[in-house]
């Protein structure tokens, strides 16, 4: 799946050591299906060569407003009128400046246009070509009131200013101001272009397994990797939602823009779920929660004593997180389709009889939508197949059978939920 298929991006480089990251960003955008036209300031050429950027983009790199090389349009057509500051932005889906220095931001703010990159930013069709900035500078430069005023005004002017990273800087200092990594900027671009079908929605998602302790070193868990839930969290954020991800013990990175709450046991997940569901509009229970836990937690490690006797374990049922939230006052309103209700989506990981088990679980839990899958076939994998079950019908994802990536399925599920809620992108 190519995340930027069909997009034409003008990638501008201003001066700064972070220009080396632009090479990886360019490569990543091309790999995701975009065509990339690179434009560099004179200062940027002190940090990165045109040869490098041309090799990675597959296009002539522009640096001078006086360059009479025919400019290539979105579809590769040549435009030979000695106006690169006009031609390069026409047909672009976005102009991305990465790195964007403090000086270049100040230049954009005041409409200065004394070289090609600032010229084409000023000459872009503001209603058609968004401008996205990835700031990069020393921590003191970033914190300076002048820079912060500039950032605020640029945002007010409709320009998208991405966050900065925090950490070691080339100057030897540590703090805010680093340019985001290439994969972070790429994720932000994908989110930028995604239709905002869940704009204004507050989504809570549970993901991963739970862990029920037997003693201080042993416990009961399952093979869920959390990949499906994390993919849903990312897709929901990209669709414009405010997303909180309640994660069991997994080693996955938190999706960009998503708030994460780490929990361990089913009881921990229930407490967090109830707390955050209070302000949510959508609750998606994709976690594989343990049905039972040991009745008694041993204070010390249970040891073999050489007799061959096996410790006897007794179990108690864990609280039903989905049913508890779905049968709350707001959950019941959501089931009835009331506007102030909580729309609850359950997941069923089965090993057999998926349709029958999913239908029964949907009724038992009291949710409007139940998503079923075969657990042993998907736990830990990057692909999956889903069966959506509501009160009237069933729906397979992917539509024609087989499997699809969890990333793709998450986007389809989010689109389906948005449609059920009557939200228009």
CA 256-262-264 angle, 5° bins: 150
Beta-sheet pairing, 383-384 with 369-374: unpaired
Catalytic residue among 26, 100, 121, 171: 171
CB crowding 59-68: b at 16 or more within 10 Å, else e:
bebbbebeee
Mapped to the 3 state alphabet, what secondary structure does the chain carry? CCCCCCCEEEEEECCCCCHHHHHHHHHHHHHCCCEEEEEECCCHHHCCCHHHHHHHHCCCCECCCCCCCCEECCCCCEECCCCHHHHCCCCCCEEEEEEECHHHHHHHHHCCCCCHHHHHHHHCCCCCCCEEEEECCCHHHHHCHHHHHHHHHHHHCCCEECCCEEEECCCCCEEEEECCCHHHHHHHHHHHHCCCCCCCCEEEEEECECCEEEECCEEECCCCCCHHHHHHHHHHHHCCCEEEEEECCCCCCCCCCCEEEECCCHHHHHHHHHHHHCCCCEEEECCECCCEEECCCCCCCCCCCCCCCCCCCCEEECCCHHHHHHCCHHHHHHHCCCCCCCEEEEEEEECCCHHHHHHHHHHHHCCCEEEEEEHHHHCCCCEECEEEECCCCEEEECCCCCCEEHHHHHHHHHHHHHHHCCCCC
Question: Are 59 and 38 spatial neighbours (Cβ–Cβ below 8 Å)?
Answer: yes
Q: In the numeric block, which tokens belong to residue 325?
A: 């939230």
Question: Are 282 and 241 spatial neighbours (Cβ–Cβ below 8 Å)?
Answer: yes
26 noted as active-site residue: no
Phi, psi of 387 (to 5 degrees): -125, 115
Q: Known catalytic residues?
A: 171
């Amino acid at each position: 799946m190519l995340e930027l298929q069909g997009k034409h991006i003008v990638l501008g480089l201003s001066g700064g050591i972070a220009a080396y990251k632009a090479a990886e960003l360019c490569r990543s955008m091309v790999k995701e299906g975009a065509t990339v036209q690179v434009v560099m300031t004179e200062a940027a050429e002190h940090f990165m060569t045109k040869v490098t950027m041309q090799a990675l983009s597959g296009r002539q790199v522009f640096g001078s407003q006086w360059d009479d090389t025919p400019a290539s349009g979105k579809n590769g057509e040549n435009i030979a009128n000695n106006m690169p500051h006009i031609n390069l932005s026409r047909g672009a889906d976005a102009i991305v400046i990465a790195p964007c220095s403090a000086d270049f931001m100040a230049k954009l703010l005041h409409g200065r246009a004394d070289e090609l990159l600032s010229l084409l930013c000023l000459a872009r069709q503001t209603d058609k070509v968004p401008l996205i900035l990835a700031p990069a500078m020393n921590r003191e430069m970033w914190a300076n009131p002048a820079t912060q005023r500039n950032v605020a005004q640029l945002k007010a002017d409709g320009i998208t200013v991405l966050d900065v990273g925090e950490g070691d800087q080339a100057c030897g200092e540590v703090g805010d101001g680093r340019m985001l990594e290439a994969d972070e900027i790429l994720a932000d671009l994908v989110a930028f272009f995604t239709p905002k079908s869940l704009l204004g929605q507050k989504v809570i998602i549970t993901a991963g397994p739970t862990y029920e302790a037997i003693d201080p070193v042993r416990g009961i868990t399952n093979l869920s990797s959390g990949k499906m839930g994390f993919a849903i969290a990312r897709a929901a954020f990209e669709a414009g939602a405010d997303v909180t991800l309640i994660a069991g013990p997994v080693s996955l990175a938190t999706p960009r823009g998503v708030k994460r709450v780490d929990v361990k046991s089913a009881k921990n997940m229930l407490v967090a779920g109830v707390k955050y569901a209070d302000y949510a509009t959508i609750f998606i229970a994709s976690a594989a929660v343990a049905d039972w836990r040991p009745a008694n937690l041993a204070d010390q490690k249970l040891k073999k004593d050489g007799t061959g006797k096996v410790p006897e374990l007794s179990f108690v049922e864990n609280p039903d997180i989905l049913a508890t939230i779905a049968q709350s006052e707001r959950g019941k309103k959501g089931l009835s389709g009331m506007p102030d209700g909580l729309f609850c989506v359950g997941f069923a990981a089965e090993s057999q009889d998926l349709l029958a088990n999913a239908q029964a679980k949907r009724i038992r839990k009291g949710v409007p939508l139940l998503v079923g899958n075969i657990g042993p076939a998907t736990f830990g994998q990057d692909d999956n197949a889903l069966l959506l079950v509501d009160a009237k019908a069933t729906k397979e994802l992917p539509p024609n059978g087989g499997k699809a990536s969890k990333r793709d399925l998450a986007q389809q599920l989010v689109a389906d939920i948005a449609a059920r809620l009557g939200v228009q992108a």
